[in-house]
Each structure stands twice: as C-alpha cells, then as structure tokens.
Homo-oligomer: A and B are copies of this chain.
C-alpha cells in the first residue's frame, strides 16, 4: 500500500517508522560494503539509530527539504533513494541512493532513480536534478552517466570518508534535457 510501482519488480514506498527494522537489518548485513562510500553507516549501531534517522527524514519532509523512499524489489526492502537538499529558489534538488550488495547488477537502481526523476520533474515541478558521487565511486557514477546527466564539474576534497578526502563529481540534468530524453 502507498507504493509507486515502477515496473513489475521494483517499487518505491515513502519511508516511515514501520521500515525501521527492515532498514536496520539491511544496513547491518551490508555494513562492510556500504561503509566504503557512505560515512553515516558507522553511526547506525541499533534499530533506534535508524528510527532517529527516519524521524529526521520526516521532519525534512514536513519542511519540504527532502523526500525519502525505500526501494522494494519483489516486495523486499533492498535500499533507499531520495530527493534532498531542495533549493526552492532555483527549483533544484539532489538524488541520493544506496543499494544492498546482493541486489547490484539487476538494473534496480537505474529504474528507481528514473522513477524519482519522473516524480521530481513532473510531480514536484523541479527544473533541475543533480547527482553527486565520489570520483572513485565508479558504480555510483555509472547511474547518472547511464541516464544522460551532464557532468558539470567537481568539488575537490569535498567529502571525508574513513579519514580521506574525496573529490565529488557533480552531475546535473535540466528539466528541458529530461523531456528530450524521455520523449
């Protein structure tokens, strides 16, 4: 219920407190894989930490600063995707995502991000969507590249992961470009 069916196997559901156990178990069992590029993973030690992060996400939602979804694959939670860092003056937001390692290579994330792009451009009326990824995180960078985002530049040393600075690549797609791609 309250799902957004993207295709037969993939759907999105607004993240709420009923997801806390499912998300915690997934993060906990994918810990070593996820923590390579996600600095928040080490802070999630109990289901309560997930509940607290859901609470923050829902407050973001109430302020129109973010929208967070769990990705369901054949009914199972396999990751999350969200629109965040809304800049309403320029009608822009960033898509962020992570997927448990067992579900990589099935095209799930590409479909999920396409779904959120449609949601963001059509439903929320954004004019631009960005995706940021660390320079060396090729798996993450492949999503915007596959979806036709423009690589606009980078910000050097803009992320700290396990004590090392990483340069972030900035990808962007304007609504006009998306319409061309989708027509």
Contact = CB atoms under 8 A, between A and B. Distances in A.
Interface of A: 1-4, 12-14, 16-18, 55, 58-59, 61-62, 64, 87, 89-90, 92, 115, 118-119, 123-124, 127-128, 130, 150, 152-160, 165, 170, 172, 174
A1 B119 CA distance: 8
A97 to B, nearest CB: 17
Contact of A157 (B55, B128, B159): B128
A30 to B, nearest CB: 23
Nearest to A54: B62
A160 B4 CA distance: 32
A37 to B, nearest CB: 15
A2 B17 contact: no
A155 B170 contact: yes
A165 to B, nearest CB: 6
A90 B119 CA distance: 32
A16 B119 CA distance: 13
A172 B155 contact: yes
B165 A153 contact: no
